[in-house]
Amino acid sequence: MREPESGLMLSQEELQRYYIIREGLFLHTSIINPDLLARTGMDVEFDKVFRAIGWSKLLAKEFLCTLKLTNNGISFRMCEQEHQLNWSLLNTALGCEHECELDLDHATRMFDKIRFWKAISGSNDCSNPTPIEIHNLTLRFLHFWIMCTLYPGMGTDTLIDDELKILYAMVSKIKVSPVKLLVNYWLNSIEYGKPIYFTSFITRIADTFGLLESHYFEDIGYVRGVVDENFFINANMLIRDSNGELKMIYPGYTTEIPLPCARRRLYGVRTLTIRLARVASPDVAGTRRVTRRMMQAAQMEQGGSSHHDVEEGDEAMSVDVSDSMGLPPQRTPRPR
């Protein structure tokens, strides 16, 4: 049947999905401020990581109403035309390299959650892993990028297993595609009143079929969200010193690392954790959140600066990266 407002030809099931989508906002995928990435050295780090895993290149209503899984990919309609993409074609349409494996579980089959979490956080407890426990500077920013780009709209309090596997692939330089994760997330994101953030991916798919030149699409009437340093400062991840320079901080600890930090680049370190100087205060026991006043009080008690100099200091107590995670999987033909 034809939906009278939009003019789309939809089945009864697709029509119900349309009514849900119609009530939501369509928003641009947010980005991290490019100037912030440059100031922290993460522009170079992100480029190296994305090249290592094959992500160097990384509508809406009709697409989402008609999106379905097939035996080897997806089917959907755009501009009242039926389209199908297998996983391999969708992978390249979204900007990943052809060589990327399409199955995350297969690509990261040597992933061990307990060992990997120990390697990046120094903790033996991975029952409720949180981003703030990650030590490595690049991995901290990369996790936020994953949540901002691949899982927009989800909370960032706890890392799910798929996020850890993506970080594992990044550390191990495994070329793997997030395409199946993306489609599953899209299909499960259609809820009443819930914003649709991943329109940039849909635009890429439309461009693959040459639809952007030959059809008119309504522009999104909202400015793209740009995440700047203030977000990370409010999240207790960064501070700005008296000279305006940014430093990475670890709530519950006095350690501060000036950014950018060449010695802590992801592919240049032997271990992924650092030795953190704990705040000597009983008030922070059992929590990783700490106020600036509490930090200053602890500094006075310790009689020294809050900056534990990791530039000169020790590597962490964690085991070597290669020992903690095993060797990357041998390359085998990817599943189709």
Instruction: Compute CA distances 129 → 117, 125, 134, 157, 163, whole Å.
Output: 8, 8, 9, 8, 11
Alpha-carbon radius of gyration of the chain: 22
Alpha-carbon torsion, ordered 232, 237, 242, 245, to 10 deg: -70
Inter-helix orientation angle 161-172/42-53, to 10°: 90
CB 33 within 8 A of CB 226: yes
Q: What is the pLDDT of residue 323?
A: 55
Both tokens assigned to 61: 């209503």
Cis peptide before 260 (omega within 30 of 0): yes
Read off the pLDDT of each residue in 142-150 and give the average, rounded to a whole number.
89
Structure-model confidence comparison of residues 61 and 180, the more confident one? 180
Residue 128 and residue 254: Cα distance in Å, rounded? Answer: 23
Nearest Cα to 271, choosing from 119, 125, 118? 119
Percent pLDDT > 70 in the chain is 65
pLDDT in tens, 1-59: 655 555 566 677 766 655 565 655 555 567 789 899 999 999 999 999 989 988 766 55
**Residue 147 clears pLDDT 70, i.e. is over it:** yes
pLDDT in tens, 192-204: 556 666 677 777 7
Q: What is the pLDDT of residue 329?
A: 43
- Sheet of 73-78, strands arranged across: 68-69, 73-78, 81-86
CB 52 within 8 A of CB 170: yes
- Mean pLDDT taken over the chain: 77
Q: Could you give the residue ranges of the DSSP H alpha helices within the chain? A: 12-22, 34-40, 42-53, 60-66, 87-93, 104-107, 113-121, 137-149, 161-172, 179-187, 199-208, 211-214, 229-234, 292-302, 321-325
Phi/psi class of residue 2: alpha, beta or left (left: φ > 0; alpha: ψ in -120 to 50)? beta
Each as own residue / partner, the long-range contacts of residues 103-106 (CB below 8 Å, 24 or more positions apart, any chain) are 103/180, 103/334, 103/335, 104/162, 104/165, 104/166, 104/169, 104/176, 104/177, 104/178, 104/180, 104/181, 105/165, 106/334, 106/335
HSE-up (13 A, CA, CB side) for residue 225: 15
User: For residue 238, what are the β-bridge partners?
Assistant: 248
Q: What is the pLDDT of residue 215?
A: 59
Count of CB atoms situated within 10 Å of the CB of 164: 19
Residue 260 and residue 122: Cα distance in Å, rounded? Answer: 23
Residue 48 and residue 266: Cα distance in Å, rounded? Answer: 9
206 SS3 class: helix
pLDDT in tens, 257-303: 999 999 999 999 999 999 999 876 555 444 444 343 433 443 333 33
Maximum Cα–Cα distance across the chain: 75
Q: What is the pLDDT of residue 294?
A: 38
For β-strands 256-258 and 246-249, DSSP reports them as: antiparallel
Both tokens assigned to 91: 């992978």
Rounded to two decimals, the pTM is: 0.75
